[in-house]
Amino acid sequence: MMSAVARLTPLAAALVLTGCASTPPPATGAMALTPLDTWSSRVEVVAQPEEIRLAPHPTGLSGTQARALAEFHARWALAEGGVITVAAPTGTQGSGAYRVSADARAFLLAQGAAPDQVRLIGYDGAATANAPIVIGFQRYVAIAPRCGEWSSISRTAGNQPYGNLGCAVSANMAAQVANPGDLLGARPMTPADTGRRTTVLGKYRAGEITSTAKDAQASGVVSMVVQ
């Protein structure tokens, strides 16, 4: 009589082969995304206006407005913003709007903004009493994904990472990046220094040292420290 083990062995082998046949082969082609790549692709970068509004004054920019404009310029520099628009209302009575808008542009230039970065434009303010001067720029804001979903933490049959894995890292990076506009793409590079490249290649071909000369002030000798 055939033993029970002998009868079960072919059946077990058939089950193993069936299980292997039902498993789809690994996909060939594009490499699978890591959990970090999966969540970083869900970080949304949007442009939002950053504006301040100044009331028109016949005497020009006031002291309070100048302080507010200085804080605005600091936010613009920190966000590495693009063009600043100074929108003055048209169709209004008096020259207060023009005086404040002209003074505001001059103030921003004095703070360090380049002339091509501050544009003076107009908008129809005839229907608004005391229409303000609107100064603003477009800044980028990163909207992080919503994390904290760990309801599937016990589902490990597929041996795959949890769906929420990597979300916190992407959310923290989106919150800490100095300029979210950098997430949209790389910045343009400045042209190479062809003169320096020619000098280095010339020294390299001649077998000379290609690095710059050592600065004596960079030495760490204790005796050179001022007592």
* 3-state helix vs strand vs coil in the chain, percent to 5: 40, 15, 45
The pTM for the full model equals: 0.56
Q: What is the dihedral of CA 157, 160, 163, 168, to 10 degrees?
A: 130
Which structural domains are found in the chain, ordered by start?
48-139 (3.30.1330.60)
Q: Which of 1-10, 31-40, 75-84, 194-203 is predicted least confidently? A: 1-10
Burial 70-93 (b: 16+ CB within 10 A, else e): eebbeebeebebeebbbbbbeebe
Mean pLDDT highest for which of 22-31, 72-81, 162-171, 176-185?
72-81
Collapsing DSSP states into helix, strand and coil, what is residue 102?
A: helix
Q: Which residues contact 141 (CB under 8 A, 6 or more apart)?
A: 45, 46, 47, 48, 180
Helix 96-111 and helix 63-79, axial crossing angle in degrees, nearest 10? 50
As a three-state string, the secondary structure of 164-189 is CCCHHHHHHHHHHCCCHHHHHCCCCC
Q: Percentage of residues in the chain with pLDDT exceeding 70?
A: 71
* Kind of pairing between the strands at 133-143 and 44-54: antiparallel
Long-range residue pairs from 18-22, CB within 8 A, at least 24 positions apart, any chain: none
CB 174, CB 43: distance < 8 Å: yes
The predicted structure's pLDDT at residue 78: 84
- The secondary structure element, H or E, covering residue 97 is helix 96-111
Using one digit for the tens of pLDDT, what is the confidence trace for 31-90? 556 766 777 777 888 888 889 999 998 899 999 999 999 999 999 988 887 899 999 998
Using one digit for the tens of pLDDT, what is the confidence trace for 79-136? 887 899 999 998 776 678 889 999 999 999 999 999 999 999 998 887 677 889 999 9
* Angle, CA 57 vertex, CA 56 and CA 59 arms, to 5°: 150
Q: CA-CA distance, 205 to 200, in Å (whole number)?
A: 9
Mean pLDDT, the chain, integer:
77
